[in-house]
Amino acid sequence: MAQSLSNILLHIVFSTKHRQPFIDEGIERELFKYLATACNTLGCPTHRIGSTEDHIHIACTLGRTIAVSKLIQEIKQDSSQWMKLQGRPYSEFGWQDGYDAFSIGRSQLEDLRVYIARQREHHARESFQDEYRRLLDRYQIDYDERYVWD
């Protein structure tokens, strides 16, 4: 082939360290912009970013020259440093060590975008733990609860 093509859509989820409620509505818009810029710089355009106080969801296209682990390492590292510079309330900010990255089909993207956009509303009714179990079940991932929570 004369060129390389890729169309891998991702649903990425990760939490704040110790699930601390750092992502308030006052910072989230700027954090989303920062994360979108970081993803785009790495060749991974975002489709939607949403959060609650203690975790974030990102829908993006994986660039053809970067590994999922490298993308997430870069955006977590850069955004963590940025958050710490946003003032005293965020000086202890950090992301958890782990992450989840699920592949989705193009036909699922719009539903995922809506789901991510409604995270705060959604979590008024469902805990993160229940949401996470549902995601693992939906993506048909076997898991042992002893190793899921940090």
- Per residue in 124-138, pLDDT (tens digit) is 888 888 888 888 888
Cβ pair 2, 50 in contact under 8 A: no
Residue with tokens 């093509």: 5
Residue with tokens 């975008």: 113
**Burial 129-138, CB ≥16 within 10 A → b, else e:** eebbeeebee
Tell me how far apart the alpha carbons of residues 38 and 122 are, in angstroms, rounded to a whole number: 26
Cβ pair 60, 12 in contact under 8 A: yes
pLDDT in tens, 79-116: 999 999 999 999 999 999 999 999 999 999 999 999 99
